Each structure stands twice: as C-alpha cells, then as structure tokens.
Amino acid sequence: MQKDIHPDYSYVIFNDLASGERVLTRTTATSERTAEWDDGNTYPVIDVEISAASHPFYTGKQRILDTAGRVERFNARFKGFGGK
C-alpha cells in the first residue's frame, strides 16, 4: 500500500436520532461534535436519522403510508404524458 493516501480510520459514535441509541464503531467519517463514551474517552459524534435500532425492517414495526394519495397525485401529475 502507498503511504499517506488513505483517510484516517478512527473511532466515531453514531447517534440514532429516532431511537436515541448510540453505537461506537470505526469509520473514515469525521465530525466536529464530540461526546464522552462509557469508557471515559471522548469521540466524534455523527447523527443519523435511521439505524438498525429504529428501521422498521429490523424492528418489525411497520408504518402504514398513504399510498392511495400518492398514486392519485402521480396519476394526476403525469395524466397526459406520452399521449399523442
């Protein structure tokens, strides 16, 4: 491997905004915000909207979406598309 071309691979806390769960893992992503972890060390924090702790597929809690309204809006928007 060539030296000095790879990004820094270090520990980061990923904070799930939906569930509040925090995970310490290694990544090349960085952040200016920091927080203290359970081991007493301070690490950068990256906020994520959804993780495995809050995603409906992994939690089994499915949300019902208004698909009928979406389909009607789609059809109304593209009603004359492609017609000659």
Q: Residues 22, 16: contact at Cβ < 8 Å? A: yes
Global pTM reads: 0.63
Name 51's Cβ contacts closer than 8 Å, sequence gap at least 6.
Answer: 14, 16, 18, 19, 21, 23
**Alpha-helical regions (H) of the chain:** 56-59, 67-77
pLDDT tens-digit profile of 3-55?
A: 889 889 999 999 998 888 999 999 999 999 999 999 999 999 999 988 877 77
pLDDT tens-digit profile of 51-73?
A: 877 776 666 666 655 666 778 88
